Structure 1
Amino acid sequence: MSSGSTMRKVSARNVAAHKLRLALTVLAVVLGTAFISGAFMFTASLQNTFQEAVSTQYDGVDAVVTADTQKGSTTINPEMQQELRDNPKVAALNVSASTNVVLGNDKGEAIQTGSASSRLTPWYGGDDAVTGDKHVVEGKTPKGADEVVVNKKAATNLGLSVGQKLTVVDPKERHERTISGIYEIKGVDKGDVLLAMDEQAYVDEYTINGNLPGVTIRAAEGTSSDELVEALQEKYPTYEISTGQALAEKISEELSKALSFVKYFLVAFGLIALLVGSFIIANTFAMIVAQRTREFALLRALGASRSQITRSVMLEAIIVGIIGSAVGVLAGMGLVKVIHLVMEHKEYLEPGASLGLTPQSVLVPMALGLVVTLFSAWLPARRAGVIEPVEAMRQSEQTAAGSLKGRTIAGTVVLLIGVACAALAVVQKEWETDPRSILVGVATVAVIFGFFLAGPAFSLPIVPTIGRILGLPFGAVGKLAATNSYRNPRRTAATAFALTLGVALVAAFSVLGASMKASMADLVDDSLRADYVLSGTSSGEFPLPTEAAEKVKDVEGVANTTELYYAPVYVANMGSTSAEADGKGFSIIVDGDLSNYAEVPLIDGRMPDADHPGFLASEKLAKEMDWKVGEKYPLTSALVREPTHEVELLGTYEASASLFGKLVISKNAVSDVVNENILAINSVGVNAKSDTDKEKLRQDLEETTKSYLVVQVKDAKQILDESTQIVTKLLGILYGLLALAVIIAVLGIVNTLTLNVIERRQEIGMLRAVGTHRKQIRRMITLEAVQIAIFGALMGVVIGVSLGWAFLRVLSGQGLDSFAIDYQTIIWMLIGSGVVGAIAAIWPAHRAAKTPPLDAIAD
């Protein structure tokens, strides 16, 4: 048989003749590639949507002028604003500013806006507007500080009307304002509440002495955007000045970078799914090769060479890879469309958004799916090629352990290397966190690969034991099921491994989540001293109104209060800033006795107070910046880059045992650097007098702050519950994404059992011939599946919990000092795995039960 075309025909006809086998193998490829393709399309779709929104925002803007602290400018003062308005090249100038607000009705009850945001901006309409064709369709334009207009879509959604009184709460105080009109805006209106008020009233209320961060400009007729920008750059060299189009492109580029994280995050889970799928594909092809030994023997006897047999199996893999990847791309499109429909229903997305279909979203998943399939099929294809005609004509199933010696030794060595790496990472506490984390990562790869090699040997004592326990109520059928799993440990381990991998990931994340919750509980219990903490919205998007914080001090029963602010203030040192070292743009500012709010684990020095302004730093940050307790360092702000004031480092503390991060500055130390109006209150700690009923105090605090709509009064338990809910939601997302890998693992069990039933046709036929009922056959196959699934889950739990523990020990210096196991999740995983095995066995068991006894024996 010399013709390659003949072998290609054989491969193609073989694939076409076994449609069920093809479908089961293709499905493993489809799910992984669908997720990857969907990730590329979804992020491209979001990117297109955001770019359209940014483009609309700057449509018609010829120039954007903003202060640039690097060049020496901090704000655009009223004199400069007037100069710009008087410039003959300028047709219109708009203030670039907005303020987040919360709305209430005339009864002081919050108006629920759902997922929509609420913002207040200056009003510009008609020729006064630089961008956005806005015009009032009902009522009139706003005048003075007591009137606002609202966009039509928000008015319709919330039932707002002209003349209605609104409570408008901003970060400083609450106001009563009247809706004077409703307006429509050309372009994208996603349902956000867009209030607007008279420009001068806005500037007076929400700026410091009329100073602005930026303005947008429309050029006069006959002046191009580039000419205007060039002229303004020459006159105002210390400001950042660019065209609207250039700024839109810059923002779009930054959005693309931000969205790339979402894409990589989703792609990572797609790759996990493909990794799990690769073991299923390899197992499937190995079984197919084992079942087709006679066929390959006949082809070899007819003259087919080893390489031709190998290539024929690889050709089948190519067909599977191409079909699976193509269907995966189509499935990815469907997945994105479903997400779009949900987002449109929630008004996160405008109807008709593009699917984000790009060459990348098609070619990358196609290539990955094909490569993974070929790689997975390579060893089975090689095994098919080395089958000798005479040996292949003898039917003998692989048995337990003789051929497992080499692979078991290799697997054990790799496993021990992984364990050694994890142990080294745990014990070397003087090393930095990064190299220790990398070592745990190496250990993870080694342990998983080592278990893959040694898995068949582990299955020999464990699976039959599980089988005997499960089979006790089922008598002879239970014993037979346990024996069947023992007969082919390679197949048993390969079937279970995909589930092991998925469960190991879930177990590791469950340990991480449980430990994070335990660490939070320990930190709150040990550190928080305030009886109640008052804050703004739980999302953190809206601060506590300053006016509300002042009123709380006068509530009966309040002994003291401590206010925490966030502000763009840094402690500078040799050109660097503490904010850069901390990785954050804001520092914590404290007004009051910090020790009344929470325990501060001082290592050296003293606490700041009214007579001793200064700052505290974590011991680690102080070492990084070479700060010494008692020394003074320049204080600066993002608004004023040059250091303007010196403050003393009063003390250092242990950050991992503190609620305050890496840097805390007393409010009386920053008053010379920033205007108090830019300080946003993050929270207020309230302590009760010794003879005060704390529950009554809570009610009084809630009643006092009720009219500010956003104020939440929380005790330690509520703070902890709120913090752990964030972890729970994050874990929910991770579990949902990891469910894809578990689904593929289930398909692997279905796939293997189905092929197993085909391979054991004679055996099952003989059982039927000697009197075994169909129900008993179904029960036997189901028990085999359940014990394999439980074995895979048990191994996954052991691997996941162990590696999770090692990783947490490495992170113990970062605030994760507690170790906890989520036993509930692990128990449910084990029970669920058994159920998964039973469900996976439904189709193969049904197929096995239908085997005709005499026909099977004759075959």
Structure 2
Amino acid sequence: MSFLRERGMGASVLVAALSSAFGVTLLATTAYLGFLAKTAMGEGGTVGLMVGILSGIFIIIAMYVGAIVTANTFSTIVAGRTREIALLRLIGSTASAERRRVAGQGLIVGAIGSAIGLAVGVGIAFAGTAAAGRILDAPAYGDAFQAWMALPSVIVVLTTWAAAWGGSRRVLSVTPLQALGGSVARSHEEARGGRVRAGFGIALGLLGTLLLVAGLLLGLFTPLAVVVAFVGGLLSFTAIVLAATAIMPPVLRLVGRAFGGSATSRMAAENALRYPERSSRMSIGVVVGVTLVVMFAVATETLEKVLVSGLTAEEADATGVSAFLDLFGGIMMALVGFSAIIAAVGLVNLLTIGVVQRRTELGLLRALGLSTSQIRRMVLLEAAHITIASTLLGVVLGVVYGWIGAQATAGSVAGTPAIVAPGVPWAPVTVVLVAMAVLTLLAAVTPTRLATRISPVEALAAD
């Protein structure tokens, strides 16, 4: 269990705990929302069906976010263990044995984090439903937590293990000769390799896009179309994750041009582009978080537009649609905040690990004359570079996914089927942009402190 003291493992436990708590809380919350919907609107099957579908979708989203962050974390940890793994290979260990060891560590991390998250989720479920009942003056609700609501915690253990297995695939390419070298991230040319993975990503992207369009059109006839659209969104976003090393560099390059032409700014921009694999790992978690928050804000706004498109303001108020959607949107936005927190933890963790693994590089820059303030500014600009690029991409994806999701969910509900323009609530989007700016500053605190503590002599001697 000593591996838990390694940098990055504590954050991985936290990610698993957040994912587990997210899932348990979400199941409990959506079950309560279904209860409120039946109480307020009767036994209408459409609302109950929509709430149930959305509950399942958000559970999968929570597991998906946690798996991406965990896989990226273990990929980065494995990259830093290159010399250690190579030495073990040199004395007789096999690549498959080392990969099983890393995956086993992921299983332990998932089990610990999942147990913590389950306890937190159960507490939130009981406290939240009791408080909501008093605030809303709702009827008594005795099913705050049921055994089946623990299912997300079990899934978190499995997805963390699978993510660690996937993130440790680089172990298979570590050779005994690398025991003589250091831990270096793969360059742009090396990261572009793997035609099979690229082809698989393209195929997923095309299939996902087709399913998104199909869900949009089917939404004119049945709310079940949201399932088709969700699968399309999941596949298309997975394609983006797989192709991140090809997609993120152009976005990073565009953002880097706005940083100015100073030596520190140019180095920060080039560092993000020189090793696209490392930058992509850091950015994709933020892309996920921003996409989810913006997606749900846009989906809620668009959903309301669709449902009240054939009603007057008085009729909309009389049916209680707007009030229920406002309540549903507020609660679910709070839950989606879990995903943003997971993304933030991932960014801070990967930035910190990246600085530790770049000790020699930073020490060399110090030896060449860069001051402590210049090193600090360079690391901060790298974090800003990655965060801004990720936020821009996430906002675009969030608007598209949110609009299609809302249209697929309720396009057939409001009288005459129709496709409406996306509803973009600028207040939540602005909050996301401000939050990302704050996240950049907070995420860079620990890495910049570590970077300025690195002595040039010690860093150069360490390798």
Q: Residues 412 and 340 (structure 1 numbering): CA distance in 2 closer, same or farther, change over 3 Å?
A: closer
Cα deviation per residue 1:275-323 (whole Å; 9 max; x = unaligned)?
2111111111111111111111111111112232122212211221221
Task: Give 1:443 shift.
Answer: 2.3
Query: Do the aligned partners of 1:309 and 1:384 also contact (CA within 8 Å) in 2?
Result: yes
Opposite residue 797 of structure 1, the aligned amino acid is: V
Deviations 1:133-169 (A, max 9, x none): xxxxxxxxxxxxxxxxxxxxxxxxxxxxxxxxxxxxx
Q: Do the aligned partners of 1:36 and 1:267 also contact (CA within 8 Å) in 2?
A: no
Shift of 1:498: 2.3
Q: Look up the equivalent residue of 1:464 and give its one-letter code.
A: R
Whether 2:420 is the aligned partner of 1:818: answer yes
CA shift in 2, pair 1:259/1:768, >3 Å: same
Identify the residue that residue 281 of structure 1 maps to in structure 2: 70
| Structure 1 partner of 2:99 | 310
Q: What per-residue deviation string (whole Å, max 9, x for no partner) do you get for residues 689-747 of structure 1?
A: xxxxxxxxxxxxxxxxxxxxxxxxxxxxx959986454333322221111111110011
Structure 2 Cα separation of the partners of residues 269 and 486 of structure 1: 33
TM-score, normalization by structure 2: 0.82
Residue 483 of structure 1, CA deviation: 0.9
Q: 2 CA distance for matches of 1:762 and 1:376?
A: 29
Q: For the Cα contact (< 8 Å) 1:510–1:822, is it kept in 2? A: yes
Measured in 2, the distance between the counterparts of 1:296 and 1:278 equals 24
Change in Cα spacing, 1:425 to 1:315, as seen in structure 2 (3 Å) is closer
Alpha-carbon shift at residue 516 of structure 1 (Å)? 4.1
Q: Distance in 2 between matches of 1:443 and 1:41?
A: 26
Mapped to 2, the partners of 1:359 and 1:844 lie a distance apart of 41
Deviation for aligned residue 1:35? 2.8
State yes or no: 1:418 paired with 2:16: no
User: Is the 8 Å Cα contact of residues 43 and 260 (structure 1) preserved in structure 2?
Assistant: no
How many angstroms does 1:497 deviate by? Answer: 1.9
Shift of 1:448: 0.9
Q: How does 1:361-510 map to 2 (within 5 A)?
A: 364-395=151-182, 396-405=184-193, 406=195, 407-424=197-214, 432-433=221-222, 437-469=226-258, 471-472=259-260, 475-510=262-297
Summarize deviations over 1:363-405 as a string: whole Å, max 9, x none: x344222201110011233431442101453344311144425
In the alignment, what sits opposite 1:25? Answer: 12
Structure 1 unpaired stretches of 5+: 1-11, 47-116, 118-253, 534-658, 660-717
Contact 2:286 2:344 in 1 (8 A): yes
Distance between the aligned counterparts of 1:263 and 1:369, measured in 2? 20
1:762 aligns to what? Answer: 360
Q: Are the structure 2 counterparts of residues 21 and 726 from structure 1 closer, same or farther at C-alpha, using a change threshold of 3 Å?
A: same
Task: Give the superposition deviation at 1:480.
Answer: 1.2
Distance in 1 (CA, whole Å) between partners of 2:136 and 2:413 is 39
- Out of 413, 438, 444, which is 1:841 matched to? 444
**How far apart, in 2, do the equivalents of 1:343 and 1:403 lie?**
50
Separation (CA, whole Å) in 2 of partners of 1:420 and 1:45: 34
> Which of the pair is proportionally richer in helix?
2
C-alpha separation between the residues in 2 aligned to 1:487 and 1:840? 21
Separation in 1 of the partners of 2:334 and 2:453?
36
Question: Match for 2:188: what amino acid?
Answer: A
Give the letter for the 1:377 counterpart: A
Is the CA contact (8 Å cut-off) linking 1:283 and 1:494 kept in structure 2? yes
* Structure of greater relative contact order (alpha carbons < 8 Å, 6+ residues apart): 2
Q: Which amino acid aligns with 1:397?
A: A
Aligned 8 A contact 2:302 2:407 in 1: no
Amino acid at match of 1:770: L
Which deviations, in whole Å up to 9, do the C-alpha atoms of 1:550-607 show, x marking residues without a partner? xxxxxxxxxxxxxxxxxxxxxxxxxxxxxxxxxxxxxxxxxxxxxxxxxxxxxxxxxx
CA distance in 2 between partners of 1:485 and 1:842 (Å):
18
Offset at residue 797 of structure 1 (A):
2.3
Query: Measured at CA, do residues 515 and 325 of structure 1 come closer, stay the same or move farther in structure 2, by a change above 3 Å?
Result: closer
CA contact (8 A) 1:35 1:267 kept: no
**Equivalent residue of 2:420, what SS?**
coil
Structure 2 match to 1:852 = 455
Residue deviations 1:389-443, cap 9 Å, x none? 01453344311144425244432332233223334555689x8436755543332
**Mapping for residues 55-94 of structure 1, pairs under 5 Å:** none
Distance 1:730 1:275 in 2: 22
* Residue 291 (str. 1) matches residue 80 (str. 2): yes
What residue identity is the alignment partner of 1:398? R
Structural mapping, 1:711-750, within 5 Å: 724=322, 726-750=324-348
1:811-835 CA-to-partner distances (Å, cap 9, x unmatched) read 5454354313416133443343233
CA contact (8 A) 1:40 1:360 kept: no
**d(CA) in 2 for partners of 1:800, 1:17:** 36
2:31 and 2:212 mapped to 1: Cα distance?
39
- Looking at structure 2, the residues matched to 263 and 801 of structure 1 have their Cα atoms a distance apart, in angstroms, of 23
Structure 2 distance, partners of 1:418, 1:358, is: 34
CA contact (8 A) 2:306 2:407 kept: no
**Match in the other structure for 1:830:** 433
- CA RMSD in angstroms comes to 4.0
Structure 2: how far apart are the matches of 1:523 and 1:492? Answer: 47
Give SS of 1:845's match.
Answer: helix
3-state SS of paired residue (2:188): coil
**Conserved in 2, the CA contact under 8 Å of 1:481 and 1:783?**
yes
User: What's 1:753 paired with?
Assistant: 351
1:319 aligns to 2:99 (yes or no): no
**Residue 36 of structure 2 corresponds to which residue in structure 1?**
none
Is 2:23–2:152's contact at 8 Å kept on the other side of the alignment? yes
CA drift at 1:17? 4.2
For 2:218 and 2:268, how far apart are their aligned partners in 1? Answer: 47
Deviation readout 1:312-356 (Å, 9 max, x if unpaired): 212211221221112222322443465377469759799xx9997
Taking the aligned partners of 2:307 and 2:135, their CA distance within structure 1 comes to: 33
Deviates more, 1:788-797 or 1:329-338: 329-338
Higher Cα radius of gyration: 1
Q: 1:316 to 1:426 in 2, by over 3 A?
A: closer
Contact 1:31/1:273 (8 A) holds in 2? no
Q: Quick one: percent identity of the two aligned structures?
A: 28
Aligned pairs for 1:137-216 (under 5 A) are none
1:774/1:849 contact within 8 Å kept: yes
Q: Structure 1: which amino acid aligns with 2:454? A: T
Q: CA deviation at 1:43?
A: 9.3
Helix, strand or coil at the partner of 1:433: coil
The count of residues paired between Structure 1 and Structure 2 equals: 445
Partners of 2:211 and 2:89 lie apart in 1 by: 47
TM-score by length of 1: 0.46
CA distance in 1 between partners of 2:148 and 2:318 (Å):
43
Cα displacement string for residues 95-135 of structure 1 (whole angstroms, at most 9, x for unaligned residues): xxxxxxxxxxxxxxxxxxxxxx9xxxxxxxxxxxxxxxxxx
Asked if the contact 1:43–1:262 (Cα under 8 Å) also holds between the matched residues in 2, the reply is yes
Q: What is the aligned counterpart of 2:61 among 266, 272, 282?
A: 272
2:128 aligned residue: 339
Look up the equivalent residue of 2:115 and give its one-letter code: A
Q: Tell me the CA shift for residue 768 of structure 1.
A: 2.4
Distance 2:358 2:96 in 1: 29
* 1:729 aligned partner, one-letter code: L
